[in-house]
Amino acid sequence: MNLRTAARGFVAFLLSVPALQGNYNWEVTYPFSNVCALRGSTVNIRCTYKYRSGLTVEKEQWYTSIHNEPVDLKDDTDYTGRVDYRCGEPRCGSYSCTGTCTLKIKDLTQSDSAEYKFRITTNKGGAYSGVPGVKLSVTDLQVKVVIPPTRPNRVRLECHSMCHFTRYPTYTWYRDGTQQHHGWFTWFYINSEYRSSCAVQGSKHLPSPSVYAPETPLVGVTPPGVIKEGSSVNLTCTSEANPVAKYTWSKVTTDHPPGHSVQGQQLSFHPIQSSDSGQYLCKAENDLGTKSSSPFSIDVKYGPKHTFVISRPPGEIMEGGSVTLSCSSDANPAADYTWFKDNQPLPWEPRRPYTLDSVRSKDRGTYRCQAENQYGYLGSNSVFIDVLYAPKTPSVSVRPPGEIKEGGSVTLSCSSDANLAADYTWFREHGGSVEELGENYTISNITTELGGNYYCEARNAVGLQNSTLMFLNVTATSSSPSSVPTTVAAGTVAVLLASILLLIFLWKRRKRASRKAHGQGGRPDTGEESPPCPVYDNVSALTNRSASAAQREPIEEQDDLHYASIHISRSKNQEVPCGFAGALVESDHTEQVLYSAINLKRPKAVPDKLM
């Protein structure tokens, strides 16, 4: 089979000289040791064999060296339906027999590239193989791209094969399957969208692979679905192109062209971060052109970050003013917010900022928020809203409470809700300021003149407020309670002294009367009855008269009895003084003891005022 026949029929190219293997008893001759064929074509590999006369060939087979033991190609599943033997009847002479056998393989694939050998088995059990065999190479026609230095907008395409020809065949060029011209090269303009291929003339059905610029790349993501922060994500770019395209990744920014680029068909994130969210471009490029993908968006989902509260205006707020609280957080999807005042939740809407119009003192406190979505939650910082307001109506109190005794001590206290803290000044109604500053005002040794209505004034930088009136009722007294026992004791001593003096006076008077009677012829003092004395019930009558003279206060309660003893010495036959009848125990030359019961009265309570 010559080159021309091969090209027209089977498109097989015989490349080398015949091969002869064997000895004087047998031999196998291969016309060519190397054969090159195009993928999809049909090839014939022929051999001539010789063996000794007298033997009979029982089996003829072709096999490859890919198996350890020779396997007939007709029994090899890789060649089922594609292999056929054409072997002639051997012709025998006096010493040897000669035969031919041709292997036909159609629909060649690149896996058919191998070394093929012929083998005969005789009736005597002998088996003979032609080694080495014929090497078959199956290939495609290849289009080679050559970039000329002087024509940057186009390239030259050349049709090539891995087979080394003794003479070059004629090639035909095709554009999108349509025949263009004959020749071993053609021109291709950069970024053209058609496809070019070549084929051996007359073998259009066996063209080379088409060459073309990259088509629009497609981007895929694995794993598919929602992308969560911290997971592993891969982006893959694919584009049909021949020659094979090279890929470049870049991230698109809003205000700038694509930034830093990464080479490779796959872009990997291990792990992916929230900052990786954005749009990405993939560019595919080969010698025939360049094509970019549509922007591919990555939306990384994550829980709230950087949650914080802002107060406008910050710091202190005057009562009646306005303040706006805003909560913000970096989260995807956007977070909902829960507001807290002094750690108590507020019934505010979940997203909007809040403006407190006409701030009141009750709005003073610590505010914070909590951001939350389905991927997590995070609390914010705390902001203190300090509302400055004038003092509220002060409250006053007095210690001790109730009626106040003259000479005692009293403390007035004033307090008021205010921010800034209030200063206090005390006033007396119709009396002006008492020149006392501070929450407490103490009056020591109070007098009735200091009674009346008092009030305090609370004042700060925002305003002032007066309290209601506090009335001090001061009652007068003649003495203090501690002097009452002393007064009672002094009165008792005075009554006793008056009683004793009265008794002595009466006794002396009785004695003078007795002497006068003796001088006028009366009875001597010899035990006869004495003249009657003035009659008194007891000494108490005297003491009562003395007491009434000393003090004319109403007597309401009787105290205990007090006894006073009076010692009187008398000689025998001495007369008993008047007023002591029945009260003296007489004994000669003995001392007589007289007991007098004195009833004392004391007031039930100390009067408020001595008259």
The string of pLDDT tens digits covering residues 92-103 is 888 888 999 999
- In a shared domain, residues 536 and 549: yes
- In a shared domain, residues 34 and 114: yes
- In a shared domain, residues 101 and 195: no
pLDDT score of 259:
59
Residue 449 binned pLDDT confidence (cut-offs 50, 70, 90): confident
Q: Is pLDDT of 10 > 70?
A: no
- In a shared domain, residues 336 and 399: no
* 459 compared with 516, residue with greater pLDDT: 459
Reported as a single tens digit per residue, the pLDDT across 318-330 is 999 999 999 999 9
pLDDT score of 206:
85
CATH number assigned to the domain comprising residue 18:
2.60.40.10
Q: Is residue 492 part of a domain?
A: yes
pLDDT score of 257:
56
Q: Is pLDDT of 179 > 60?
A: yes
Q: Determine contact, residues 455/467, Cβ cutoff 8 Å.
A: yes
Domain encompassing residue 346: 301-388
Q: Does the model's pTM come out above 0.85?
A: no
Q: Is residue 207 part of a domain?
A: no
What is the distance between the terminal CA atoms of the chain, rounded to a whole angstrom?
168
* 553 compared with 111, residue with greater pLDDT: 111
Q: Is residue 257 part of a domain?
A: yes
Looking at 370, 388, 406, the residue that finishes a domain is 388
Residue 16 binned pLDDT confidence (cut-offs 50, 70, 90): very low
Reported as a single tens digit per residue, the pLDDT across 472-525 is 989 987 654 444 444 445 566 677 888 888 888 888 888 777 665 555 444 444
Q: Is pLDDT of 602 > 60?
A: no
pLDDT (average), residues 287-295: 95
593: how many CB neighbours lie within 10 A of its CB?
12
Q: Is pLDDT of 3 > 90?
A: no
* 427 compared with 170, residue with greater pLDDT: 427
Within 195-330, where are the H helices?
none
Q: Which two tokens stand for residue 6?
A: 């091969």
pLDDT score of 285:
97
Q: Phi and psi of 310, rounded to 5°?
A: -120, 135
Q: Which two tokens stand for residue 298?
A: 């990555």
- In a shared domain, residues 448 and 540: no
Which has the closest alpha carbon to 39: 62, 66, 63, 11? 11
Q: Is residue 205 part of a domain?
A: no
Q: Is residue 208 part of a domain?
A: no
Please give the Cα distance from 461 to 309 (Å, whole number).
29
- In a shared domain, residues 9 and 133: yes
pLDDT score of 371:
95
pLDDT (average), residues 142-171: 83
Q: Is residue 92 part of a domain?
A: yes
pLDDT (average), residues 523-540: 41
Q: Determine contact, residues 180/190, Cβ cutoff 8 Å.
A: no
Q: Is pLDDT of 176 > 50?
A: yes
- In a shared domain, residues 46 and 113: yes
Q: Is pLDDT of 31 > 60?
A: yes
- In a shared domain, residues 175 and 72: no
Specify the DSSP element, H or E, that contains 101.
Answer: strand 96-105
Q: Is residue 607 part of a domain?
A: no
Parallel/antiparallel/unpaired status of strands 474-475 and 404-405: parallel
- In a shared domain, residues 88 and 168: no
Q: Is pLDDT of 305 > 80?
A: yes
Residue 186 binned pLDDT confidence (cut-offs 50, 70, 90): very high
pLDDT (average), residues 300-305: 95
pLDDT score of 166:
54
* 510 compared with 154, residue with greater pLDDT: 154
How far is the CA of 228 from the CAs of 223, 273, 325, 437, in angstroms?
11, 9, 31, 67
- In a shared domain, residues 492 and 564: yes
Number of domains in the chain: 6
Residue 66 binned pLDDT confidence (cut-offs 50, 70, 90): confident
Q: Is residue 609 part of a domain?
A: no
Q: Is 510 helix (H, G, I), strand (E, B) or coil?
A: helix
Please give the Cα distance from 19 to 47 (Å, whole number).
9
Please give the Cα distance from 57 to 125 (Å, whole number).
10
Q: Is 334 helix (H, G, I), strand (E, B) or coil?
A: coil
Looking at 274, 298, 322, the residue that finishes a domain is 298
- In a shared domain, residues 492 and 562: yes
- In a shared domain, residues 403 and 457: yes
Reported as a single tens digit per residue, the pLDDT across 537-563 is 443 333 334 334 333 333 333 444 444
pLDDT (average), residues 407-416: 94
Which has the closest alpha carbon to 70: 30, 113, 127, 32? 127
